[in-house]
Amino acid sequence: MVAYPGPMPRSPSPGQTPDAPTSGGGSTDSTRQRIVAAAKEEFARHGIAGARVDRIAKQARTSKERVYAYFRSKEALYAHVAERETTALIEATQLDPADLPGYAGILFDHFAARPDHYRLITWGRLELAESADNTSGPLQATIAGKLDKLRDAQRIGLLDPAWDPVDVLALINQIAMTWAGQPEIAAAAADQAVDPSVTARRAALVTAVEHMFPRPDRDQRPNRLT
């Protein structure tokens, strides 16, 4: 996160070096923002191992030394970028257990609008094995919260209790990210699908989730889940 000035000394944010420049002025803020933006593009394109700090610095119109003044390593810079992207994903994809097809559509929209996000998190899964074992981060907390919502929906009759909530969430996520994860089929669809539009792809996956987890009738829906 951007370090804001204040009267009390602060510990450095995750991935930031203790002596990193603080945001006492617009110039340092702007440099840091350019570094993060350039790093996001570089990591999405090349992964962590393939990313080069000199390219990030060049794209950000700064020096490698300046990059390392803000972030102690390339991995720390990736962690910062990934945290920002995860926060954006969490905020953009709220789950309504009474409308799981709609949730699938929201996920599809997010990754269709931000294909770099899918590539970025995929590189992290491939190259940072320990990230998959992290059970205390914000993404894991969000997953736990969504599973609780699904259990509540089963308890009050909105969702078939025969399903394990973890399977429900995993299946919907996978269906929603089908096109983001299969660019070769997306390319084929552009030429061979009856309707090659993005709207048609979205409608198909929403319909698939609707068949698996149909929306309850409106008179079945409570005002809120408790």
60 and 150 assigned to the same domain: no
> For residues 83 and 35, what is the distance between their CA atoms, to the nearest angstrom?
15
Q: How much is the pLDDT for 123?
A: 87
Number of domains, the chain: 2
105 and 36 assigned to the same domain: no
105 and 57 assigned to the same domain: no
53 and 144 assigned to the same domain: no
> For residues 31 and 71, what is the distance between their CA atoms, to the nearest angstrom?
12
Q: The domain that contains 176 carries what CATH number?
A: 1.10.357.10
What is the DSSP secondary structure assignment for residue 31, as one 8-state letter? Answer: H
Residue 30: count other Cβ atoms within 10 Å of its Cβ: 14
With respect to residue 201, please indicate whether it lies within any of the assigned structural domains.
yes
Residue 28: count other Cβ atoms within 10 Å of its Cβ: 18
With respect to residue 88, please indicate whether it lies within any of the assigned structural domains.
no
What domain range includes position 104?
A: 93-128+137-217
Q: The domain that contains 67 carries what CATH number?
A: 1.10.10.60
With respect to residue 146, please indicate whether it lies within any of the assigned structural domains.
yes
116 and 180 assigned to the same domain: yes
Cα distances (Å, whole numbers) of residue 210 to 12, 81, 150, 216:
46, 34, 15, 10
Q: How much is the pLDDT for 133?
A: 57
Which of the four pLDDT bands, split at 50, 70 and 90, describes residue 167? Answer: very high
The DSSP element (H or E) to which 74 belongs, if any, is helix 74-92
With respect to residue 147, please indicate whether it lies within any of the assigned structural domains.
yes
102 and 211 assigned to the same domain: yes
With respect to residue 2, please indicate whether it lies within any of the assigned structural domains.
no
> For residues 46 and 131, what is the distance between their CA atoms, to the nearest angstrom?
18
98 and 192 assigned to the same domain: yes
Q: How much is the pLDDT for 212?
A: 97
With respect to residue 85, please indicate whether it lies within any of the assigned structural domains.
no
Q: How much is the pLDDT for 223?
A: 55
With respect to residue 48, please indicate whether it lies within any of the assigned structural domains.
yes
70 and 143 assigned to the same domain: no
With respect to residue 199, please indicate whether it lies within any of the assigned structural domains.
yes
Q: How much is the pLDDT for 131?
A: 55
Q: What is the mean pLDDT of residues 152-170?
A: 97
> For residues 101 and 153, what is the distance between their CA atoms, to the nearest angstrom?
14
> For residues 168 and 217, what is the distance between their CA atoms, to the nearest angstrom?
19
67 and 99 assigned to the same domain: no
